[in-house]
Every structure is written in structure tokens, then in C-alpha cells.
Amino acid sequence: MAEQKKTEGNALFKSRNFEQAILKYTEGLECCPQDDKDTLALLHQNRAAAYEAVGEMERCLQDCDDALAANNRYVKALVRRSRVLEKQGDLLGALRDLTLSSFLGQNFCMDSFQRAQLLLMKLSSERAALFLCAREPVMPSNSFIKSFFALFTQDPMVNWNGTNCTETTAAAGDTSRDDASFVQACRLYRENRFKEIIGVLNEVVARGSGEPYYFEALSSRAIFHLLRGDTQRALEDLNEVIKEPTITPELRSNALIKRATVYLFNDNFNESRQALDEAVSCCPKNPDALLHRGQLSVFQERFSDAVNDFDAAKDCGGEESVSEMQKAFSQVRMKMREGTTAMKSAIDQLIECCEKYPDRPDALVLCAQSLNVQGQKQKAAELFRKSLELDPENVGIEVHLRILEGDLNQDVEGTIEKLEALGQKDPTCQLVFETLGPMYLRQGEVKKALGAFDRALVVAYNQKEVKQLLMLKTMTEVHLMISEQYPDLAKLPLQFLPQQ
């Protein structure tokens, strides 16, 4: 009898007589034996389809739940429920059901795959916006701050020599005050007391534009806002500097480079290039502007433009080792597309650059990463070790080394232990925790993976990184939800992570 009612309901559904179809499915459910789970699941799912067709979403959702209670591997009911949950704003539940349907389904469905990717990106974007508004900014480690400031050699605080000043400073006249002054901030920078600097800069700025080094303080403070993940405040400081007509071209160019960095953090590549073009235009001899534009060109695979800028930076008095290193690395990136032989020749040039400047840990890291891509893992590990000897406090370098050593020794557990120790050594190193997360997942330690992603999020310093980490965390949460209900699916891989 239940089968007959289902058949009659299906005929009515096909003729788009949804209300009558609902009645037939209901009659079928009333006479269906409670131990006939397959038929119960079919009737609930079909009635859910009819309810969806007439816009009765709550009843549709309830029937999907009932169908899955009868058969928790019913793919049609999962896909339908995911669609309804998405309409109701429950994106996590929708993603869970869509992911589970892909695990259980017999055939790969590109539409479901693309829909799940869109769901994941939408949910991660919403979570990222909420997370960035609510979190307390965290300053990264001293080693990371030093590495970041090294990108801005013309920053007024980095470049301070005790006598240089802008026109606004000279006009103000008072350069003798050391209490909460820009000069004090410069001295703190020289002493690597980075976490004390932003408080001093805040006091300088609070005294207003008549304060000596006011605009220099704004420009330098913007970097600390960036490091703490506050791109909005960084832009506010930089915009005030850039629009000031009395500052020197050098200071304006420096602020434009930093504005380009903010745009880059937010994936606004066109705005970033425009800001760098302005930085070069207003101060053509600023090597930082040329180097940053060259690095952006490498990222965008505009290799000829990159080489021209690196050569120009060297001619403008920029540090020769940096220009040559970046030029050699751009050649490696360019030759990657031409095959192993061409890439080997480019890597040989990068190695020569490292031998020419053996005291540059950043050059050694670039070379090690290039060798690792080519499969020369032993040589890459040697260069990482040399780089770490030159910069022993740089936990990021040690993370790369420990991962590579673990790969060479095929010792996953040992690598995890070493990375956990590095996390204790420097709890602000994002790379440690974003590396541990996927490693825990591969070991089946899903809850540990979630903890690692949470710790990485605390110290992530730009919107792009927060969003990517939240994608990983969201899919891990979905994986945990599924594995708790379906233990046999626990070891299946994470799905739907977009390629970066």
C-alpha cells in the first residue's frame, strides 16, 4: 500500500500537482511499516521535494531530517537539506551536508563541488569579517618584526641617523625633547625593544601635527598597525601622510610603498601597483619603491618588468645584495615554466648570488626554497641550516628546516614534536601553527588541528591569511561533525578547499 501511494504521489509531482502529491506521500507514510526504513526514507524525501516546490521550507527541512533518520546515507535528502539550510542562512550545516553527500555519492558532481567551494568561501569571508572586528591585536615576535621592517629600508625610523629630519620638523624647531618623542622611538628600534615603540608613537601623534617628526611617526606607526592586523588604521595613518603637501618626496614615497603593501594584503593588486607607480614617480631614486614593484611584478609573472626594477634599484643605491638576489629569484620563477634544465640554470645563478653574499639569510632561504621545489632536498636542508646559523632567532626558518628534515627522514611524529616545541618557543609564529594543523589532520587528530588553526588565527596579521585559515578551520569542523556521526569516513580527505 505504501509503495502504491508513493507511485501515485510521484505521478502527481511530475504533473506539478504538488499539494495533492503531498497528500499521497502523507497517506503512504501513515500506512508504511516503521521497520521498512528504505520506503520511509523515500516517502519523506519525496514529500520534502514537494514541500520545497511550494515554498514550505520548514516542513521540507523536517522531512529531510526524517528521511535521514530512516537512512542516514540518503544522498538526495542530504543535497536537498543542504540547499534549504543555505537559504535559511545555516551555511555550516549546508556545507556539512554537501560534503557528506560527496563522500557518500557514487558519482562526482561538478555542480556540487563548485557550490561547496562557493559556500566555503562565503562562510569563511563572513567569519573573517566578524573575527577581525572582535579579536585583540597581537604583536608578532621580534624576529618577525625585524624581518618585516627590513622590507622598508627608507622608513624614517629605520633610516634615522640622529640628524635627518623633514621640512615640517625643521620648521617646528624643537628636536631636543626625548620624552615620548620620535627620537626615543628610533632608539627603541635600535635596541630591538619593538613592543614599546607603538606606545611612544601614539603619544607623538596625539600631540598633533605641530609635533616634531609627527608625519614620520604616522608613517612608522602604520607598520605596527599592519603587523597587528589592523589594515584600516594603517591606511588612515598613511593617507594623512600622503595628503600632507609639506613633507619630503622621500617620506611621501615611503608612505605610498606601505599603502601598496596594505592593498596587497587585501588582494587589491591593481591598487597596489598604482601606489607603487606613484611612489616611484614622486621619488625615482627610492630603491625600496623599485624593489617592491619588482617583487609585485614577479608575483604577477611580469618578469621583464621585475628585472628592470631590480636593476634600477641597484643603480639608485639600493643594497646590491638584495637587488641581485631578487633578480636571480625572478629568473627562477620565470624558468619554472620552461622545464627542469632551464630552471637548474636559474637556480645555479641564485646559488652564485648566495655564495657572493654568504651573510644574507634571506638569500639562503630563497635558494633553499627553490632547490626544494626542484627536489634537491638535501641541498635545500643545508642552506636552511646555514640561514638559521646566521639568524638563530628566526623561528620561521627553523619551521621550514624541520619540515624538510622530517620529509627526508620520513618521521612525521618527530616533526610534529619539534614544531610543537617551536610553538612553545615562539607562540606568535603563525607558520608553526598553520603547519601543525594539516599535519594533525593527516594523523587523525582533528581536535588538535582545530586548536592549531585557532592559535594561528590569533597571530595572523592580514585579512587574506585569516580567510585562508578560516577555510581550513571550517572544513576541519565539517570533517569532525561528519566523523563523529560516520566513523568510517573519518580518514577521508578534506574536500572543496580552493587552490591558492
| 269-313 tens-digit pLDDT | 999 999 999 999 999 999 999 999 999 999 999 999 999 999 999
Instruction: Measure the CA–CA gap between 6 and 190, rounded to whole angstroms.
Output: 80
* pLDDT at residue 17 greater than cutoff 80: yes
Tell me what the mean pLDDT of segment 177-192 comes to. Answer: 82
Q: How many residues does the chain have?
A: 500
Please answer whether residues 258 and 219 qualify as being in contact, where contact means their C-beta atoms are separated by less than 8 angstroms.
yes
Q: What is the pLDDT of residue 180?
A: 63
Q: Which residue has the higher pLDDT, 105 or 382?
A: 382
* pLDDT at residue 140 greater than cutoff 60: yes
Please answer whether residues 226 and 461 qualify as being in contact, where contact means their C-beta atoms are separated by less than 8 angstroms.
yes
Instruction: Measure the CA–CA gap between 203 and 237, rounded to whole angstroms.
Output: 14
Instruction: Measure the CA–CA gap between 50 and 5, rounded to whole angstroms.
Output: 14
Closest CA to 144 of 317, 350, 393: 393
Q: Which residue has the higher pLDDT, 486 or 206?
A: 206
Q: What is the pLDDT of residue 490?
A: 66
Q: What is the pLDDT of residues 286-296, one digit of tens each?
A: 999 999 999 99
Closest CA to 184 of 196, 172, 173, 168: 196
Tell me what the mean pLDDT of segment 199-215 comes to. Answer: 92
Instruction: Measure the CA–CA gap between 15 and 139, rounded to whole angstroms.
Output: 64
What's at 43, amino acid-wise? Answer: L
Task: Count CB-CB contacts under 10 A for residue 352.
Answer: 12
Query: How many CA atoms, within 13 angstroms, populate the side-chain half-sphere of residue 60?
Result: 22
Instruction: Measure the CA–CA gap between 161 and 216, rounded to whole angstroms.
Output: 14
Q: Percentage of residues in the chain with pLDDT exceeding 90?
A: 62
Q: What is the pLDDT of residues 458-490, one digit of tens each?
A: 998 788 889 999 999 999 999 888 888 888 776
| Lowest-pLDDT choice from 57-66, 104-113, 416-425 | 104-113
Q: What is the pLDDT of residue 168?
A: 41
* pLDDT at residue 498 greater than cutoff 50: no
**Domain layout of the chain by residue ranges:** 2-134
Instruction: Measure the CA–CA gap between 298 and 264, rounded to whole angstroms.
Output: 13
Domain spanning 2-134: CATH 1.25.40.10: yes
Which of the four pLDDT bands, split at 50, 70 and 90, describes residue 170? very low
Cell numbers for 230: 589592523
Q: Percentage of residues in the chain with pLDDT exceeding 70?
A: 93
Please answer whether residues 190 and 239 qualify as being in contact, where contact means their C-beta atoms are separated by less than 8 angstroms.
no
Please answer whether residues 404 and 381 qualify as being in contact, where contact means their C-beta atoms are separated by less than 8 angstroms.
yes
| Predicted TM-score of the model (pTM) | 0.82
Please answer whether residues 420 and 436 qualify as being in contact, where contact means their C-beta atoms are separated by less than 8 angstroms.
yes
| Lowest-pLDDT choice from 57-61, 92-96, 103-107, 494-498 | 494-498
Phi, psi of 301 (to 5 degrees): 60, 35
Tell me what the mean pLDDT of segment 411-437 comes to. Answer: 95
Instruction: Measure the CA–CA gap between 201 and 193, rounded to whole angstroms.
Output: 13
Closest CA to 393 of 425, 358, 433: 425
Please answer whether residues 287 and 153 qualify as being in contact, where contact means their C-beta atoms are separated by less than 8 angstroms.
yes
